Each structure stands twice: as C-alpha cells, then as structure tokens.
C-alpha cells in the first residue's frame, strides 16, 4: 500500500499564506505614542538589565557548550546596556563649575 506524500514545497507555500493571513501585521508589543526619547532609553536600559541578569543566572547553572553560548549572550547584553547607559548620560547636560 502506497501512501500519498504531500509535496513539501507546495505545502510550505500554503502554510506561509495561512500564517501571513492569521498572524497580526503589527508586533505584539506596542509603545505609547507619548513616550519621550529619554524615557524610551531608560526603559530599554531596564529591559537590558533584566535580560542580562537572567542570562547570567542561566549561564551559571549550565555546563559547556551551552554555558559558553549563554555567557556570550550575556556579554552582548552588557555591551548593549553600557551603550544605552552612555546615551542616557549624554542626554544630561554636563555640569559647569563657576
């Protein structure tokens, strides 16, 4: 008895059309239109801090090579967080001494 196997290329195209039809066109997360640039940076810094702490905690419980991957992600998050923190510092005018 032979089973009819569907052609995966035809099925994949139909699958992609169905996904495109049912998934929302915009992201699942929306940003308040009134959010200021500085508040957006502060919120991003907070998110990066949480993600960094989570990655570090996960990395401490794993063995190599998974540990190395998670710690690499942690390192990238720390770089991003440092960059955002510096951007926030640049928004504050330097204090002048008179």
Domain count of the fold of the chain: 1
Considering Cα of 16, then 22, then 26, then 27, what sign does the dihedral take? negative
Asked if residue 41 belongs to a domain, the reply is yes
**Pick from 93, 94, 88: which is nearest to 46 by CA?**
88
Asked if residue 11 belongs to a domain, the reply is no
Confidence of residue 8 (pLDDT cuts 50, 70, 90): low
DSSP codes, 30-67: ---TT--HHHHHHHHHHHHHHHHHHHHHHHHH--TTHH
Q: Provide the residue range defining the domain that includes 60.
A: 35-93
Asked if residue 46 belongs to a domain, the reply is yes
| pLDDT tens per residue, range 37-96 | 889 999 999 999 999 999 999 998 998 889 999 999 999 999 999 999 999 888 887 777
Asked if residue 20 belongs to a domain, the reply is no
Asked if residue 84 belongs to a domain, the reply is yes
Asked if residue 69 belongs to a domain, the reply is yes
> Cβ neighbours of residue 37 under 8 Å, at least 6 residues apart?
91
Torsion, Cα 19 22 28 33, to 10 degrees, reads 120
């Amino acid at each position: 008895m032979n089973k009819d196997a569907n052609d995966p290329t035809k099925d994949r195209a139909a699958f992609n059309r169905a996904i495109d039809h049912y998934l929302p066109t915009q992201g699942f997360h929306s940003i308040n239109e009134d959010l200021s640039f500085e508040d957006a940076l502060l919120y991003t810094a907070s998110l990066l801090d949480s993600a960094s702490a989570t990655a570090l905690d996960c990395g401490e419980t794993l063995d190599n090579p998974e540990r190395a991957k998670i710690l690499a992600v942690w390192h990238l998050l720390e770089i991003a967080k440092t960059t955002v923190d510096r951007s926030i510092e640049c928004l504050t005018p330097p204090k002048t001494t008179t």
